A and B are shown apart, each in its own frame.
Chain A
Amino acid sequence: MDWLYLYMPVAGVTIFWPGLVLIGFSVGVLGGFFGMGGAWMVTPGLNILGFPMAFAIGTDMAHIAGKSMISTMRHSKFGNVDYKLGLIMVLGTFIGIEVGAQLVMYLERLGKVESIVRWVYVGFLALIGWMIFYDYYKARTKKKMGLGEGEKGTEGITWYKTLHRIKIQPVVYFKTAGFSCSMWLPISVSFMTGLLAGFLGIGGGLFRMPALVYLIGCPTHIAVGTDLFEVMISGLYGAFTYSMKGRIELVGVFVMLTGAAIGAQIGTVATKYAKGYGIRLAFGTCVVACMVSIILKEFKFTAISAALILCTIGLMSAYITVVMLKGAAEELREKKARQRAAAQAA
Chain B
Amino acid sequence: MNGAGEKGRWGRTGSLLAKLGGWACFMWVVLPDWVWAAGEKATNLVVVADTRRLTGIMKYFANLYNTNTLLFAVWAVVLTALWGAILGFLMDFLMARTGLDLKSRKIVEH
Write the residues of chain A forming the contact surface with B, with a CB cutoff of 8 angstroms.
Answer: 7, 9-12, 54, 57-58, 61-63, 65-67, 69-70, 73-74, 77-80, 84, 87-88, 90-91, 94, 97-98, 100-101, 103-105, 117, 139, 143, 152-155, 170-172, 183, 197-202, 219-222, 233-234, 236-248, 250-251, 253-254, 257-258, 261-262, 264-265, 269, 271-272, 275-277, 328, 331-332, 335
Using an 8 Å CB-CB cutoff, how does the interface string of B53-86 with A read, 1 for contact, 0 for none?
A: 1100010011001000110111111011101110
User: Are B102 and A269 neighbours in the complex by a CB distance under 8 Å?
Assistant: yes
Residues of A within 8 Å of B100, CB to CB, are 269, 328, 331-332
User: Are A240 and B38 neighbours in the complex by a CB distance under 8 Å?
Assistant: no
User: Are B65 and A277 neighbours in the complex by a CB distance under 8 Å?
Assistant: no
Closest to A150 in B: B109
Write the residues of chain B forming the contact surface with A, with a CB cutoff of 8 angstroms.
Answer: 9, 12-13, 16-17, 20-21, 23-24, 27-28, 31-47, 49-51, 53-54, 58, 61-62, 65, 69-70, 72-77, 79-81, 83-85, 87-92, 95, 98-105, 107-110
User: Are A70 and B102 neighbours in the complex by a CB distance under 8 Å?
Assistant: no
User: Are B47 and A272 neighbours in the complex by a CB distance under 8 Å?
Assistant: no
User: Are A277 and B32 neighbours in the complex by a CB distance under 8 Å?
Assistant: no
User: Are B76 and A243 neighbours in the complex by a CB distance under 8 Å?
Assistant: yes
User: Are A265 and B42 neighbours in the complex by a CB distance under 8 Å?
Assistant: no
User: Are B16 and A244 neighbours in the complex by a CB distance under 8 Å?
Assistant: no
User: Are B83 and A257 neighbours in the complex by a CB distance under 8 Å?
Assistant: yes
Q: How far is the CA of A105 from the CA of B37 in the complex (A)?
A: 10
